[in-house]
Amino acid sequence: MTMTHYMSLLAENQPWNLIIFMAIPVIMAETLTITEFFIIFNKTRTGGIRTLNKVIGILDGFYFTGIFIYLLITAVIPLTKTGGWHTWVDVVAVGFYLSGVLFLLPIALMELGIIFRNKSFEEKLKIHFMLVGGFLVVAHIAMIFGMVNPEIISNMPGMHNM
C-alpha cells in the first residue's frame, strides 16, 4: 500500500516523528481549545488558565512555524520539483497540515501584542477562538486525507495523469 507523504512522515523514525509533527502541536492546540472554553465561559482576563492559554498560544505558534519552515524546505519544495507527490490527495493532506501556520502564528503574534493591539478584550477573544478552531479544522482535514491510500485515487478512471 502506498501512503501519503503525511502518513509516511508520521510513520518514519518512530516514535519521534509522531511526537514532533503530530503530538506536540495537536496537544498544545487542544490545550488552547480547552482553556479557551474556560476563558470564554468565565470571561477570564487574568489568572492561571489565562496564563496557560497565553503561553501555549505563543509556544504552539512558533513551534508550528518551525515545522512549517522545515517541511517546506525538506519536503514540499523537493517533492514539487521532482513530481514526487502521490496524487492530489497527498498534496491536500500536506497542504492542509502546513496551512495550520496561518492559524497558529497569528495566535502567537496576538499574544505578544504584535498584531490586533487596538482590539477590545472581547474582539481578541473572538479572533483567538476562530484561529484555534481554524487550526483544528485544517489539522483534521490533513489527518483524514493523510490516511487515504493514494493508490485508490490513481486507479480511478480519469486519474491517469496524476
Rounded average pLDDT per 10-residue block, the chain, 162 residues: 85 92 94 94 92 97 98 95 92 96 98 96 93 95 92 61 44
According to the model, what pLDDT value does residue 162 have?
A: 43
What DSSP string describes 37-89?
A: HHHHHHT--SSHHHHHHHHHHHHHHHHHHHHHHHHIIIIIHHHHHHT---HHH
Residue in the block written with cell 509522531: 18
Task: Using only the alpha carbons of the chain, give its radius of gyration.
Answer: 18
Nearest-CA neighbor of 95 among 75, 115, 116, 117? 75
- Domain limits of the chain? 5-151
